[in-house]
């Protein structure tokens, strides 16, 4: 099995290293990842400047291909220009921090996996519920190594990917694996105003995450100590509103 590994935290992050190491035992791993931090870039593609690719080493050994682009760029470029053969699976992560609820639309980790499934390859995004610098990715990496062969056996429709979150608690405290819905938590964002040496204001996004408390949501189950797996897709039509909008009488009128 050929496995393409990518992420959004950058090719030098601890999460992608743990992931690539764990997947070595599962298949033939190729790492193609951003050369710098790309969290919260969503599904951005680089179109105004060229992409460069550089070989990247870790611990004195070849580790992968560092790309001067976004997570979605990495997957597209890997398939079109870097990999000699199509991968059987794309795994994105392990992200530093949970990817649940509204975070899925900002997440570069998830977008890399979305790009994989758009290109017809079964794909997983995996995140560890820990933002701290000393986070231990060992168990999350083992979860990925467990799940990849399972995904390889089953059919996922094109456009559907698996979003996985792993609690950052000792392994013997993890309660198990649960299939979960995307929650409705949100970020309580605000911009902190600071001043540069010239006295001009600048703004830095900060804030805190407000998870929902709904049983069955990714946020709630993750907080309770479960590994959560959520099937997601990128198709955005709201089918309930599709019908409601038809009752507004605006269809067929030719617009303004």
CB of 256 to Mn ion, least distance (A): 42
Asked whether 92 and 7 are in contact (CB, 8 A), the reply is yes
CB of 94 to Mn ion, least distance (A): 10
Site for Mn ion in 32-91 (CB under 5 A): 39
CB of 127 to Mn ion, least distance (A): 8
If the CB atoms of residues 30 and 92 are measured against Mn ion, the closer one turns out to be 92
Instruction: Please list, in sequence order, all residues whose beta carbon lies within 8 angstroms of the beta carbon of residue 56, skipping any fewer than 6 positions away.
Output: 11, 12, 31, 35, 62, 63, 64, 65, 66
The size of the interface with Mn ion (CB under 5 A), counted in residues, is 4
* Separation of CA 107 from chain center: 5
**One-character DSSP codes across 212-246:** ---TTBHHHHHHHTEEEEEEEE-----HHHHHHHH
CB of 96 to Mn ion, least distance (A): 5
- For residue 51, give the H/E element and its range: none
If the CB atoms of residues 106 and 234 are measured against Mn ion, the closer one turns out to be 106
Q: 3-class SS at 29?
A: strand
If the CB atoms of residues 9 and 181 are measured against Mn ion, the closer one turns out to be 9
Q: Is 8 in the site for Mn ion (CB under 5 A)?
A: yes
Q: Is 95 in the site for Mn ion (CB under 5 A)?
A: yes
Point out which residues bind Mn ion (CB under 5 A): 8-9, 39, 95
């Amino acid at each position: 099995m050929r496995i393409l590994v990518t992420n959004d935290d950058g090719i030098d992050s601890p999460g992608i290293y743990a992931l690539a190491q764990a997947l070595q035992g599962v298949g033939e791993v190729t790492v193609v990842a951003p050369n710098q931090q790309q969290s919260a870039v969503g599904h951005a593609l680089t179109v105004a400047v060229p992409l460069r690719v550089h070989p990247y080493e870790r611990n004195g050994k070849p580790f992968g291909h560092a790309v001067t682009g976004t997570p979605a760029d990495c997957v597209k470029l890997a398939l079109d220009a870097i990999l000699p053969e199509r991968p059987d699976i794309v795994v994105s992560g392990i992200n530093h921090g949970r990817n649940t609820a509204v975070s899925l639309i900002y997440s570069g980790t998830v977008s890399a996996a979305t790009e994989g499934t758009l290109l017809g390859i079964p794909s997983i995004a995996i995140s560890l519920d820990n933002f701290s610098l000393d986070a231990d990715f060992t168990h999350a990496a083992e979860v990925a190594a467990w799940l990849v062969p399972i995904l390889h056996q089953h059919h996922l429709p094109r456009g559907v990917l698996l979003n996985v979150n792993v609690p950052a608690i000792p392994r013997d405290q993890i309660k198990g694996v649960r299939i979960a819905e995307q929650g409705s938590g949100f970020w309580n964002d605000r911009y902190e105003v600071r001043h540069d040496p010239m006295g001009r204001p600048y703004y830095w996004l900060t804030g805190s995450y407000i998870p929902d408390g709904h049983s069955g949501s990714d946020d709630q189950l993750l907080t309770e100590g479960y590994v959560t797996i959520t099937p997601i897709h990128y198709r955005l039509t709201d089918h309930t509103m599709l019908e409601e909008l038809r009752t507004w009488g605006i269809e067929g009128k030719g617009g303004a």
